[in-house]
Structures are given as structure tokens and as C-alpha cells.
Structure 1
Amino acid sequence: MQIILNEALKLHPLNKSKIIAGVKGLNRPIDQFGVLETPDSFHFVKSNEFLMTTGYLFKDNTELQYKIIKELYNRGVCALGIKINRYIKEFSPEVIDFCNTYNFPLIYIPNEYGWYDFFSPLLYLMHIIQLDTNKDILNKMTTLSDFILNSNSFDEIAKHIYKIFNIPCYIHINYNDISASYPPKSSISKIQITKLIEKFQNTENTFAIKDIKRIVFEDKSILFSDIKHKTSCYGYIILYEKNGELNFENISLFQYVLTCVQSYVNRFLNSNRKFSAKQNKFLLQLVNNKIIDKIALLCESNELNIDLYNDYIVAVSKDSPISQYEDLDKIYTFIENNINLKYKVLSAFEFNGNYIVFSPVNRDISSIQNYKNTKLKIIKIQKEFKSFFHINDFSFGIGTYYPSIDGIRTSYNEAIRAFESYKKFFNKDFIINFKDLGIYSILSNPAVNKDIQNFANKYIKPIIAFDKKNNSELLITLKYFFEYHRSFRSCAKEMHLHHNTIRYRLKKIEELCHVDTASENDLLELEISLKLLPFINKSIDN
């Protein structure tokens, strides 16, 4: 039976979705649902189908994005939900315009949930509940998720679950051994959780429905499930059936309850983090505000448990994939556990791509050793981010050490400059200290960009054009020639050629560039031009 899309989006976890485009189409009906992941799967979709995808099938092809979205619309698909930042960061402007023009809903769905989590409540409504009760059940489920997710304690949740099923409920959370049961003094509160866990893990006990087992314990029937997020187990939830009186429909509703409780537990654990949105905001203000009230900052930093009496070397990446579509609770947890606590640093991030690391300075060692230690941390943090976000490129600029609170902002600005200066020349991964920028600090100055390009192209562009036309290796020969200290024989040995071949190629370069390789000045200009090759490549690409 049909469900209206706007009503489906009230159910957890779809209630955490965001509308990317096509907001006027939320009154579309849902007859069925499915997953869109293979290149030809859009040929088999049905009218009024609610599709979900990771975007893998069109991750590197904006034309295919548009083609598939248009085809889904033409086939009468209800909507497309997508997990942003799994394989794509955003849709092309053409796709957004199309969806808005034709009222085709394009919906961000949170990454941390599996397909079953999204489909389970819809399946419950569509295939178990009768037509005349569907609206009442939908309202009941919406109220249920709102109550659980906005509860103040696990005791409140246990009591509410008891009211729904009219049987005792027990919740156990591993964190600080938290327990809640309702009724408070029922026999279920006296059951040893370890014995139930053993029975739950016993493969002889089968599942009554996904993730939920019916266990016989002391001649009583118990519905038992672990509370988990991905592979991590946070705790357990139990319904004390006594005589197995819950039917399949109620067990299915319990499955929805479980999904809501899992989200509440995840948020509860995240609220106990040491790294929070408040700390993130404070650190961003610290580096972005030009006027600093040091006394006010120190007072606020004490409340947030941030040590501003220490000095910091600041590192910045502008390649961060963190966006407003991410599950931010998940991001804060990752940064706290995998970055801040692990490497003893502070972090902050913005949605514009800036990710900032504050590495504390050890005043008992030299500045050189502090820079070395900071760079080693950044190398490890770089690997953590690549693994967590499944990305290949994640570069950093590192500032200089300055004492005091004012020095933190100065170090930050240098880190930004180091990143931006190097990024103009190198697309691949890099970690560059501001103090090691050298000539790139001058070359990255916008005021001299045109002069640099003209200078480099004067010598290198003719060589590149000749190599491309004749399939030759003049440019690589010139590179080896300078690497091996302008020695014809050393260059020839490295390239497995006769030294006369190298001489012939250098003569050809003389003709193309109108230089004399016997002139020290001409050789110097050739060598400098060669050093600017990354800059030339980027200008050619553009």
C-alpha cells in the first residue's frame, strides 16, 4: 500500500534526511523501494519507487548523473536518496536545476545507516499494517521516535517501551554500566545480563527478526538484541515476553524501536566526548578573529578544557572532505578518538574544507625537534583521514612556532600560506613547513604569476611541443642533465644512451629555445625554467 514521501521522511532514520532539490515534490506516493548501484539498474526501476544509492555508478561522471536522474524522473520514480560523501560530494548544477524544475526530490540520507535501517519502517507500514490502520500506526511510529530521541534518560525510554508493548523492558548500556528497567522492581531487572549475552551469541538460538532473538530463559520467553552502531556494541535491550505473546507485527515494531534506541545511545555517548561543537567553534574563533580578548579567551578555554597556557604549532589542510551532509556526531567522535586523544593535539574544522591541527609545543626540547615531532604527527593524521574518508589526496601546510596566544593565529596564517603556496605547483600529497617554502613563497605571489609563466614558457613550452609532436624525450633528457651536474656521460649512463646522443639532444634544445649551452647564464635560466615545470603544467591544464 502507498505511503506519501513526506510522511515517510518523518520516520527514523529518514527523519535525519535533508532535501537537496525538488522540495515541491514531497507529496509523491511510495509504492515500493529499492537500491540503485549498478550502471544498468535504472532500466528496471518502477513507477512510485523510492530509490537509494551511494552514487557509485556515476561518481566520476556528471553527464551520467544528469542522464540517470532524468531517466528516473521519466520512469515515474518517487525520489532518489543519496549518501553524500561516500563516492560523490555534490551534484552538478544541471541536476539540481532539473530536480527543482520538475519537482523531483533529491534527498541526502545519512551515511551511518544501512539500507535495511531505512527500509524496515517502510516495509512494516506497507506490508503488515492494514489500510484502515495505516495512518494511526504512522502517527504512532512518528510519536515513538520523537519521544525516544528526545528523552532525558534511559529510564524514560524503558517506561515508554513498556507502555507500547505492555511487557517489562530492560536496557543495559556498557558505558559506566548504566541500566534501566520498567517496571523498576520487576523480575527482569534481576536477570544476569551476562547469561543472556551467552544465549544470544549461541548460534542455536535463531532470530525472530533481523537482529532480534527470542530466547528461552528460566522457562520464560525473552526478546533480546544488542544495541550497536556498525560493528561496535554499545549495550543490550530486552523485552520480557513471559510466554511469547508478541506477534510478528509487534516484533517488527520492536525492530523500529531498536533503531531509535540505537540512535539515542549513539548521541548519548557522543555527548560525553571531550571534543564538541563548542570546542570547535572556540578554536575557529581563536584563529579567525583579528581582535583577541585574552582574559575572556582564557576563561572560556578553562571551561572547555582547552589549554591556552601552552604554545602550539598550527597545521592546516584545505582538502578536508567534511561537509554539512556528514553525520557530525560521527565526525566529532572520529576526531576525538583517532586524532586528538591518539596524537595529543587539538583540532577544528570548517565546511569550506579547512581542517586545523594545533600541535602543542614541548618547551624542554629544541625548535627543530618540535618541528620534527609536529611533522611526524601530521603524517600519521594524514593517513587517518585518508582511511576514514576513503580519499587519496590530503595535504597540509605547517606554520612556525610563536609563543603566546597571539602566536597561535600567526602560526595559523603561515600554515594557510604554506598550503596555498605549494598547492599552486603540486597537486599530489604534500606536507610543507612554512619555513621550508623557499622560492615557492616568492613564486606563489599573485603579483608575479604572469611574469613567471612567461619566463618558464619561453624555454620549456617549445620543448614540450616538440616532444609531443615527435614522440621524443628532450624534456626528460634536460632533467637528467641537470640532476647529474651537467655531465653528458653521467646523464647518458642513467638513460642508457651514448653520450653523443645526449649532446645531440642538447643541441636540439639550443635550436628550439634559442640558447647557448656553453653560456652559464643560459644554462641557469633553463634550469630555473625546469624547476617551474609544475607551474607550467597547471597553466597548460587551465
Structure 2
Amino acid sequence: MRIIEMLELPAFKEVTVLTENVNLEKDVLGITLFDAPDGYEWFREGEFIITTGYPFMDANSDWEETLIKLIKVLINKKCSGLGIKIGRYILEIPSKVISYASENEFPILHLPNRLAWSDLIVPVVTYINNKQRLELELTRDVYENFHAFLTNGKGLPDLANLLHKLTSKPIAIYIKTLNIYIEAPSTWISRNDVEDLITNVPIDKNSYKLKEHEYQPLIRLIKSTLHFEAAVIIGNVKADLKPWELVAIEQAVTIIKSEIERLRSIATIYQRQKNTFITKLQNGVIKSYEVLLRLAQEIRWKISNNNFYAVLLNCDLQETNEVQLIEKKLNIIYMMEKHLEESLPGTLIGFDLSNRFVLLIEVNNEVTENLIIRKLKELITTLNISTFYGGIGRAYPLLQIRNSFKEAETALNFSYTKESYQNQLTIYSFSELNIERILYSNNPLKESETIADEYLNNIIEYDKKKNSELFITLKVFLENNASHIDTAKALYIHKNTVRYRLKVIREITGLDPENIKDQILFVMALSVVEISEPKAMAVTNGT
């Protein structure tokens, strides 16, 4: 029982509290009579001590100092309080003693002299026994409720409601790593509020009470190797929880841990299916839209006819244990999905065969490369665990997304060359690369051929349709060190004609023949064409 409950017993109606501003919520585990000078040696934590004051009446000592010494002993032994009969041996409690006890928040009660010890002890012991019996019954009821819960195979929402019923307090269950949030009753606290609350809880504690917070919450953390994984939040906790309430919370925590493992196993299998699907797209294995649609349905991914960006992210997590590394990377994926679900809806996230993070992001009017980069940088800062590097390929249909993967890898390779810092993402888009496309490609010759196909073929096709001479103009322009005058002389045309033709080339290819970086790409492309198709070059040159 608590002291405040003890004072409500009929036998304690005439008892008064002498100390000021003391905690009357202290637990009383028993009541002990002290009337022997050396009796304090047998005091136990939680005991409430009652005395006539006789042990302090030694004529050879200062009884006031002796009383203060006793209070020090009681405080050190964590006793709950002291009751003194005043009127027989002690006429009053000196103010010095009361002040000392008040400063140390230790209750001293004035007991009427006329009461027999049995009048005080029996009601307290009876109350404690009855309360213990009630606590045992309520604890047994808790176990029976949880047994029924497990027998009926109910889920986490039912668990939150059960805990709410057993404690009569609002409950929230938050599993961060699996992106699960449940309340009972609903809407008593928001998810954002819960996340803010958890940031104030030291990771080395299992539970923490925020007394001054408006929700007066008790937060029971659920951790995995000192990493926060989930929490049970109990609201409106004004005093210490009852034993059966603590039992209910721990039973719930055990079930939540088991559910986390079950859901993680399912999520791991599901993630493995997504990873396999991503690998097939990466390797260009899927050849028909019908197969693509079927495989996407198997992983419950809704696809459209829009183009998609492929994004590759990589980081060094410094984990030596392979199991912990996989667990941490899976947790990162869960957090990525949560962070991007609103800004980049429908994004498919997984791993490739090199254990890099892969994102397939659908293109629409709102989703641009700049938006993707901004949202990914925001995401990395919230992870607060490592330095990330990334690359974004250009947008392609899903059946051609292999090209975007290759481009994303080239951009990722380029990002590795740049300095980055903790909690920061260094990311580049393939579309902003120039000569780096060749330098950081895994197959520079193949990339050179791709550039030739991508840019020169458009020029050649234009020449065929318009009977123009853009290709030869570009070649001569580059051979003459980008001189308009020398090119005009070599082709027997006006220099303004050269400028016009270069403008058309810029519009057709997106590359600027007058920009030195783009000139390098054109030179590389022309070299590939000359090496692989010398006869075609001869025809194109008009020889």
C-alpha cells in the first residue's frame, strides 16, 4: 500500500503528517514496531516504522541528534516513513528534526498516544494482505486474458485493445522497423508525437517516464542489440503502475517481439522475391510485357506504361557480422519505403546482386530527377547511420530498364570519386555526365558505341531525310579545332551556314558542338564509327 492509502484507514483518522512537501505515494511493504535502541539494524526497505520514542530517552545522549541519526538510517535503508507516538516519552518533535526530514522528503507522522499498537498494525497488515490477494487475482486474470489472446490467434490491433482494457490507460504500439503504428483508443496520440517522444528516451533504458509531458507517458522500449526497434507507449501514467499492469505490459512486449520476428521473416521472403524481380530487370531477362505484368503482380507491385528511373545507392555500414548487416539493410529499406511513400508513391525498393540498394521510380509530371535527388538526400539525413553514394539512370520503359541500370551504375561510379560526409548522400544523374560516361563506365568501348548510336545516328538519319550535310560539317568542324572560319573554307560555305548547321545538330542531339566537353563525346563517337564502319564513313564523307 501507499502512505496516502494508509492515512485513509479508519485507525489513522487522527494521524497527522508533520513534515512538509513529502512524497506520500511511497509504497509501504510492512509496518514494524521500534522500541529497542539497536532495533534499526533489522529494518528493511519499504517498511513503515512506528515508535513511542523510548529508544531516544538515554540521559547520556542528545536525543534530538539521536532522532536525526535514526532518520538518516531509515533514509539509507529506503524505509517508507516514521510514525511517533507523542505525549508519553516525547512531548513534541523539534523543528530541527522536522526540517531535516522535510529536506530529505521523508514522512514523519504524529500518532495519537491513546492508540494501541494493534490498532495501527492490524489494519495495515490486513490491508496489505488483502491488496496482495487482489493483485494476485488480477495478475492471474492478466495471464488468462493473454492465454485466450494467443489461443484465438489475434493480431496487434487486438493486443493494443487488450492492453488498454487491462490497464484502463490509452495505449500505442509502434514498430519502427516494420512501419507499424496502432492506437487504442484511436487518435489519442499521433504517430509523429510518438516518434518525438521516443527521441527523448535514452537507448540504454528499457522504460522511461516523461512526467512533465502532456500525455504523461510511460515508454517501454523494445530493442535489438541496443538498436531501437519498437515501443509500447502507455498514456496518463500519473503514478507507478500496479504489479498486474506491469505484468500485462511485459506479456504484450513478449508477443510484440514474437510478432516482429514473424513479420520480419515474411518481409524477408517478400523482399527476396522483389530482389529476384529487380535482378531479372537488371539483366534484361524479361522480354514480354505479359511476363513483366505477371511477375510484378506476384510481388504486389502495380506497374504502368510510364517510364521509370533506376536508382542505385550504396554505403559502408561497418558491420562485421553478416546477420547484423542484412538486418540493418532491411531496416533501411523499411525506412526508405516509409519516407518515400508520399513523395514518390509506388517506388519499388530492393537489393541487386551486389547488395546495393535499388529503387525503380515511376516518371510522371511531378517526379523529376531533381525531386528524386532532393527526397533521397532528405532520407539519408534521417537515417543517421552512414555515408551514401548514388547514381540515377535516365527514364526508360520497364522492358528497357536495363539501360537505366547501366547508366545509374556509371553515375554511381562517378559519385565514388567525390568526397562525402557522415549522414550525407553524394549522388549524380547520368544525364548530367559528359565524358564521365566513358571514363566511369564498366565497359568504356561499349559506352562509346552507345554514344555513337545515340547521337550520330540521329544526325545521319536527318541528313538522309533532308539531304543535308550535318555529319560532314560536324566532322570537319572538330578536325579544324572548332573554328567556324576554317570549317567554312574547307566546305566552301559561309561561316553563318556553319553556325546554322551546328545549331541544328544541337537541337537534334542535345549536345553542343561548341562546348568542349560535348566535343569530346562527339570525337569519341566519330572514332567509334570510323573504326567499326570505315566504308560507311567513306560514303558519308562523300569519297
User: TM range, normalised to the smaller chain?
Assistant: 0.3 to 0.5
- TM-score, normalised with respect to structure 2: 0.36
State the structure with more CA Rg: 2
- TM-score, normalised with respect to structure 1: 0.36
